[in-house]
Amino acid sequence: MKVCVVGSGGREHALAHVLARTAEVVVAPGNPGIPFSTTQPAKEIEADLFVIGPEQPLVDGLADELRKQGKLVFGPGADGAKLEGSKSWMKKILVDAGVPTARYGVFTEKEPAFDFLQNLSDLYVIKTDGLAAGKGVLVTSDITEAKQAVTEYLSGKAFGISGKRIVIEEGLTGPEISLLAVCDGQTAVPLASAQDFKRLKDQDEGPNTGGMGAYSPVPFFEENLVKKIMDIAVIPTLEALKRKGIDYRGVLYCGLMITPDGPKVLEYNARFGDPETQVVIPRLKTDLAELLASAASGSINSEPIFSNEAAVAVVCASESYPENPRIGDFIEGLSLVQKMKGINIFFSGVGRSNDGLVTDGGRVLTITGMGATLEKARKLTYEAVSKISWPGMQKRQDIASNFELYKNE
Closest CA to 127 of 98, 159, 173: 159
CA angle 287, 291, 20 (to 5 degrees): 45
CATH number for the domain running over 173-296: 3.30.470.20
The number of CA neighbours under 13 Å toward the Cβ of 198 is 15
Percent residues over pLDDT 70 in the chain: 98
Whole-angstrom CA distances from 281 to 126, 201, 217, 313 are: 31, 25, 11, 12
Pairing state of beta strands 2-7 and 24-29? parallel
Residue 241 contacts residue 248 (beta carbons within 8 Å): yes
Q: Mean pLDDT, to the nearest integer, of 341-352?
A: 98
Per-residue pLDDT tens for 137-187?
Answer: 899 999 999 999 999 999 998 899 989 999 999 999 998 888 999 999 999
pLDDT of residue 383: 98
Q: How confident is the model at residue 59 (pLDDT cuts 50, 70, 90)?
A: very high
CATH 3.40.190.10 is right for the domain spanning 310-402:
no
pLDDT of residue 222: 79
Q: How far apart are CA 379 and CA 401, in angstroms?
A: 10
Domain ranges in the chain are 2-82, 103-170, 173-296, 310-402
Per-residue pLDDT tens for 103-113?
Answer: 999 999 999 99
Per-residue pLDDT tens for 281-310?
Answer: 999 999 999 999 999 999 998 999 999 999
Residue 268 contacts residue 300 (beta carbons within 8 Å): no
Supply the Cα-derived Rg of the chain in whole angstroms.
20
CA angle 169, 174, 177 (to 5 degrees): 90
Q: Mean pLDDT, to the nearest integer, of 55-65?
A: 97
Residue 16: pLDDT over 50 = yes
Beta strands in 62-204 (DSSP E): 73-74, 104-107, 124-128, 137-140, 166-170, 176-184, 188-190, 195-196, 199-201
Q: How far apart are CA 257 and CA 254, in angstroms?
A: 10
Q: How confident is the model at residue 135 (pLDDT cuts 50, 70, 90)?
A: confident
pLDDT of residue 146: 95
Q: Mean pLDDT, to the nearest integer, of 125-130?
A: 93
Which top CATH class is 2-82? alpha beta
Quickly name the fold that domain 103-170 has. Answer: Dna Ligase; domain 1 (3.30.1490)
Q: How confident is the model at residue 336 (pLDDT cuts 50, 70, 90)?
A: very high
Beta strands in 306-355 (DSSP E): 310-317, 343-347, 350-353
Q: How confident is the model at residue 133 (pLDDT cuts 50, 70, 90)?
A: confident
Mean pLDDT of the chain: 95
Residue 340: pLDDT over 90 = yes
CA angle 131, 264, 203 (to 5 degrees): 70
Q: How confident is the model at residue 223 (pLDDT cuts 50, 70, 90)?
A: confident
Among 127-136, 371-380, 390-399, the minimum mean pLDDT is found in 127-136
Q: How far apart are CA 185 and CA 238, in angstroms?
A: 7
